[in-house]
Structures are given as structure tokens and as C-alpha cells.
């Protein structure tokens, strides 16, 4: 089986910065262990914005400055970054909730099983999962709920329910 792990936006601003939560902080060790034990390709993303963020559509709807390119908040969490320092890892910036580039990387790599972890369950994780589901509906897709956190516990749960209803396998739900 050709497996790919997708690590979504494990950046400082989402963990303990401007949009951080205790739940996001709590998943960091689990995500690090998942990365260290993964046997297959790993793709990671950086949510990326610029100084004019508050003037963008997203900035008007979520007026919290975050993940400005090159800032400490934009950088990956140090423990996650160190875990990603291995072979068979690619990653890059994404400028919206999901990225067609990531879908292409996954499909070009021949993955037949893709597992998602990261932040935030109810925004970028669900958007990325459903983008891949739309891009290639034959790939088996799973989300490790214990390695994700949402903008709130309630939104995390709601996103998991929506993904499950879209035939996404939800692993470790409630752990």
C-alpha cells in the first residue's frame, strides 16, 4: 500500500500564538509521534498570509492576524519541524484553506491511502480532506481525530461528523 500522511498547518500561531488553543497544544506530542512512526510519504503545509491580511476576504471574516509569511507565528512548531527532518517529506505554503497543489502531490505520488492530521479540524483540515475527496474519490482517506484540534472542541466534533458523513474514515475519535 502506498501511504501518505498530510500534516496540516502545525504552525506556532495555531498552537500557542494568536489563534492557539489548549487543544492544539495537547495534540503536538501525538502529531510528532505519528510523524516519527509513519512509513510512507509525508506532506506538510504552511498557512501563509501577508501584511495586508486584514484587507483580504479571510481577514475580514476572521480579523485575527496570523501566519504572516516569515514571522515566528508562521513557522512550524519546533518539535514538529524536527520530526519532519527525514526522508520522503515534501511541503509548502498554501494560500487558502485547501490546496490543489497538495492534491496533485498526493495523486502524482500514487497514494492509495491518505491520512490527515493537524489544525484546524473545522477549517483547513476539513477543506483539505474534502478537496482531495473531490479530486480523486478512489483514494482511501482517513483523519486521525486524536491528532487534530479545531477552533473549539465543539467545532472539532462537528467537522469530524461532517467528514464521516462524506465517507472519510475517522480514527481514534474520542481519544
- Give me the residue label for grid cell 461532517: 162
What percent of the chain lies above the pLDDT cut of 70?
99
Q: What is the pLDDT of residue 19?
A: 96
pLDDT at 15 over 90: yes
Residue 65 sits in a domain whose CATH number is: 3.40.50.850
Q: How many domains does the chain have?
A: 1
Q: Domain limits at 103?
A: 3-171
Task: Express each pLDDT in 98-144 by its tens digit.
Answer: 988 889 989 888 899 999 999 999 999 999 999 999 999 899 999 99
Separation between Cα atoms, residue 58 and residue 175, nearest integer Å: 31
pLDDT confidence tier of residue 17, bands split at 50, 70 and 90: very high
Task: Express each pLDDT in 30-72 by its tens digit.
Answer: 999 999 999 999 999 999 999 999 999 999 999 999 999 999 9
Write out the DSSP string of the chain: --EEEEEE--BHHHHTSTT--HHHHHHHHHHHHHHHH--SEEEEEEE-B-TTGGGSHHHHHS-----BTTSTTTSBPHHHHHHT-SSSEEEEEESSSS-HHHHHHHHHTT-SEEEEEEE-IIIIIHHHHHHHHHH-TTSEEEEEEEEEE-SSHHHHHHHHHHHHHTT-EEESTT-
What average pLDDT does the structure give for the chain?
Answer: 95
Q: What is the pLDDT of residue 175?
A: 67
Confirm if 44 and 6 have CB atoms less than 8 A apart.
yes
Amino acid at each position: 500500500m502506498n501511504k501518505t500522511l498530510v500534516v496540516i498547518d502545525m504552525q506556532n500561531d495555531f498552537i500557542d500564538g494568536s489563534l492557539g488553543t489548549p487543544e492544539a497544544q495537547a495534540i503536538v506530542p501525538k502529531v510528532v509521534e505519528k510523524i516519527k512512526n509513519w512509513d510512507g510519504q509525508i506532506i506538510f503545509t504552511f498557512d501563509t498570509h501577508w501584511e495586508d491580511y486584514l484587507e483580504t476576504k479571510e481577514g475580514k471574516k476572521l480579523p485575527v492576524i496570523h501566519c504572516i509569511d516569515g514571522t515566528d507565528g508562521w513557522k512550524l512548531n519546533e518539535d514538529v519541524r524536527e520530526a519532519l527532518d527525514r526522508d520522503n517529506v515534501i511541503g509548502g505554503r498554501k494560500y487558502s484553506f485547501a490546496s490543489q497543489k497538495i492534491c496533485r502531490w498526493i495523486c502524482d505520488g500514487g497514494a492509495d491511502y491518505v491520512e490527515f492530521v493537524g489544525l484546524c479540524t473545522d477549517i483547513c483540515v476539513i477543506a483539505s480532506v474534502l478537496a482531495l475527496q473531490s479530486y480523486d474519490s478512489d483514494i482511501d482517506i482517513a483523519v486521525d481525530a486524536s491528532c487534530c484540534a479545531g477552533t473549539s472542541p465543539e467545532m472539532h466534533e462537528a467537522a469530524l461528523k461532517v467528514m464521516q458523513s462524506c465517507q472519510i474514515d475517522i480514527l481514534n475519535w474520542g481519544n
